[in-house]
Amino acid sequence: MPRTREVTDASFDAEVLKSAKPVVVEFWADWSGPCARLNPVLEQLAVEYADKIDVVKVNVDENPETASALRISSVPSVFLFKDGERRISVIGVGAKRYFEMEFADYLG
């Protein structure tokens, strides 16, 4: 069962910007091969660090308002939000260890 969940234009503010926990957000698209390759990595992070972070996904084709507001021009784009602010941005695919290093301040 997936540990990541979908967030929409309508729910982004409540589920990401107003979250008490840091939130890792993947901006993705069905047609993107790199997004498909990144999915297992984010699922692993969601399981291993469930007590520290939430991991969600925003389909850019189905949620154009959020994608436009955040100026998403490439997928996958992975952002970490804390206290309503984008703190970290990663563009493209990486190994689980890479994301653990990027997000280390929020995972420990």
In the block, residue with structure tokens 């993947």:
26
The answer to whether the pTM exceeds 0.85 is yes
Task: Please state, in angstroms and as integers, the Cα–Cα distance from residue 83 to each residue in 15, 50, 104, following that order.
Answer: 11, 18, 17
Instruction: Find the CATH number of the domain harbouring 33.
Output: 3.40.30.10
Do residues 82 and 76 lie in contact, with contact meaning Cβ atoms separated by under 8 Å?
Answer: no
Give pLDDT tens digits for 32-81: 999 999 999 999 999 999 999 999 999 999 999 999 999 999 999 999 99
Overall domain count for the chain? 1
* Domain enclosing residue 35, as ranges: 5-107
Average pLDDT over residues 81-106: 97
**Percent of the chain scored above 90 by pLDDT?**
96
| Confidence bin at 1 (pLDDT 50/70/90) | low
